[in-house]
Chains A and B, each alone.
Chain A
Amino acid sequence: MPRSNRPLFLARAPYKRRRLRDAARLLPVLGVLLMVLPLMWTPDSRVTLRSWDVAYFFLVWIGLIALAAAFAPGLRAGGGSEDEED
């Protein structure tokens, strides 16, 4: 369906907001990468848990939460408007 009423280019603030959403959308990709990464460090022989493994995962987790918290107000700013599906 044509969306003739949508502007092709945006002002600075909506543009920033949209990029913020893009960043938020990419966050899970970064998250998956960081969560899977340690599996590749581990040589097959080592099966016991090191405390650093635990610390690593929780640091990653906290980092992701902090990023999400930083994005959250921006997500809400345009909340409910119709321009954010893409």
Chain B
Amino acid sequence: MIPMIVILALLVAFLLWLIGIYNSLVRLRNAVKNAWSQIDVQLKRRHDLIPNLVETAKGYMQHERGTLENVTKARNLAAQASGVGDQAKAESGLNQALSSFFVVVENYPDLKANQNFLALQEELTSTENKISFARQAYNDAAMQFNNKIEMFPSNIVAGVFSFKQAEFFEIEEAAERAVPKVSFS
């Protein structure tokens, strides 16, 4: 009788332990999802801002149709992207298009003085900052989740319930890509 109770107690304890691991995995996955939604909000906002920006710039930049089209194209690509990896790639392209656009803007002092354009630029800057700050939080959450999935013993539970690793959101900074680092040392 007593061995039966002991075995039963051990079994219950083991089950509770498994449930604990499973719950912590779910909690971490939700944290990743939540962090991603924070980024998603800002990405959407950026995609909404860009058509306005292009529209404002159009009147001033008759001769830069190619640059503007590139921005619009990159924006549409980014807006359609799904999945963390694809999104990150599309956003990198958009960053690049935008940075070459702002280089061209330097030649149009009238546009640079336009109140509407300045307001849009401020919004865009802020949104980009928010994305980069939110990206930090997302990648932290993703790393914690991935660690839990890979480490023993939680990797067994993760395998049984097929938890998938979260992708990191890495955007290549446009400035880093465009300007080669030169040192004379």
A and B bind: no
